[in-house]
Amino acid sequence: MRWYHYVAYFFGGAFFANAVPHFVNGVSGHPFQSPFASPPGEGWSSSMVNVLWGFFNLAVGYVLVCRVVSPPVPEGTKIAEIAGNQGRAPDVQRVRLPAGFHLAPGYPAWQGLAALTDQHTDGNGTHNLQAKPQAPPQVAIVSPNDRKPFQPVRLSTGEEVREAVTRARAARLTWRLRPLAERVAALRAAAKEMLAGRNERGRPSEPLMIERRWNKTALVATVAFTQLAPGCGGGAQSTSDANACGGLSPAARQFLAELVKQTQDSLGLALTSSGTQDLNFEFALPGIDMMQGSNEHLAMPCMGAMVFSGVTCSSEFGNPPLAPSLDSCFQTSCEAANIALVNVYITRSPHRDPSDRIDISYSTQAPYPGGEVTYSPNPLVQWRFDATTPGSMTASADLASNVSIRLAQTGTIDCSYSGHLEGTTSATDTMSTATMIFSKITRVGPVNVSVQNTSTAPRTGNIAVGATVLAKITENGVVWNTDCR
């Protein structure tokens, strides 16, 4: 509805309401106030004046509500008679359609459509002519610029719409796996096809405007796909490689495997701790294949809850130091008796407080692709050492790290991940499990990592996208399947 429809409804209702008291008093023979009385609005007018004034209000209200909002259907308009299905007694309705709009008998988009008639009005009255077969329903299209008509478009049936939606959903699954170059090529091919067939679809359009519009679309798509697919856009990656390996580029696979190894090594070192008095943990930096182990000996084991100790930091990260201002820090506390907590994080001087969250960055080193690694904010992991069960100790940590690598050549790989590490060691056995989720490393979907390890069986694990396994995790590291090599 347009804005003036609401105005017409408002004033039409007002005229209808005003007609009631004047008309009722007029036909009852009672005088009543009207604009024609003396003085106007205060004196009394005769019943005849009120009847005429009431009829006038009814007429104005009818025009505003029934003619302005619902304009009359011109002569010659097609009238569709809707009957029941399968020869049942027809439940006839007359459906007014715009002139030139035809519905075919039995058209499946409307159940029970039985006949189509022409309405003809002359001096002898209105006549319904015999039904004639019509083409499938069409919608006329008019250019909003100059109001010139285009070629009409046929309405699809309900079954055709459902089939198109099913095909679109299936195509989306394969489209997301197609590399960027193929998507851009498909957009450009669609632009050429549209330009080549524009005369068939209607009157000629301005080819220069269409060409510019489609070229701009392809350009925007190129930029958008590059930004939204950092895991696939970074590094040299072939078309077949992107599809076969879940959209992971060789560079993304290299950094992912390193992070998986670092978390496994951190859990392994934590399990060498002795109870809640000697605590072992590591600091790791992706992209430089560097880890720094540390040990904290508590003066006394945890006897109960204790607040965090002061922060202990070291600027000697690596040999030679990676950067003079890059610090590895930790602080300890006791959650309860025989349960110790250690906060482990990397930061940059003078920001040594764990609550002072800042970005840290550094350059990658061989054998990893050249680029700049950024932690945002600086990573923090809390290890929990539980020695409440006599003869055993459990180490666990929740992972939540935002790390990205901007490659020197092209693209950015978002290696942000979350997960959980947990292991238990005793005098007879050591068992551990690890789960990691890389939610942004590829546009295809989250990359899930799961690893199980015991002292009596080889390490096993998978790297997968959905149900598709991309690599196996063994004692010797990550072994990618043949499609990823």
Tokens representing 193 are 């096809």
What's the pLDDT band for 96 if we cut at 50, 70, 90?
A: very low
Alpha-carbon distance 342 to 347, whole Å?
16
Output the DSSP codes for 456-475: TEEEEEEEEETTEEEEEEET
Mean pLDDT of 157-178: 75
**Which residues are within 8 A (CB) of 450 and not within 5 positions of it... i.e. 6 or more apart?**
433, 434, 435, 436, 461, 462
Report the residue count for the chain: 485
**Rounded CA gap, 398 and 58, in Å?**
75
Cα 332 to the chain's mean position, in Å?
A: 41
Give the confidence band of 20 by pLDDT, cuts at 50, 70, 90: very high
With a CB cutoff of 8 Å and minimum separation 6, the contacts of 341 are 308, 332, 333, 334, 335, 382, 383, 384, 385
Q: How many CA atoms lie within 13 A of 114 on its CB side?
A: 15
Q: 370 versus 137: which is more confidently predicted? A: 370
Q: What is the pLDDT of residue 450?
A: 95
Residue 38, classified by CB atoms within 10 Å of its CB into exposed (0-12), middle (13-18) or buried (19+), is exposed
Q: Does 228 score more than 50 pLDDT?
A: no
When computed from its CA atoms, the radius of gyration of the chain, rounded to whole angstroms, is: 39
Asked if residues 43 and 37 have their Cβ atoms less than 8 Å apart, the reply is yes
Q: Which long-range contacts (CB under 8 A, 24 or more apart) does 318-326 make?
A: 318/285, 318/288, 318/290, 318/292, 322/285, 322/288, 322/290, 322/362, 323/348, 323/362, 325/349, 326/360, 326/362
Mean pLDDT, range 206-215, rounded to an integer: 43
Tokens representing 364 are 């990658």
pTM higher than 0.85: no
pLDDT at residue 205 greater than cutoff 60? no
Tens of pLDDT, residues 363-408 = 888 888 889 999 887 778 999 999 999 889 999 999 999 999 999 8
Percent of the chain with pLDDT over 90: 22
Cβ atoms of 331 and 311 within 8 Å: the answer is yes
**For tokens 């035809």, what's the residue?**
102
Q: In the predicted model, is pLDDT for residue 36 greater than 60?
A: yes
pLDDT tens digits, 321-375: 455 568 888 999 899 999 999 999 888 888 888 888 788 888 888 888 889 999 8
Helix (H) or strand (E) holding 118: strand 113-122
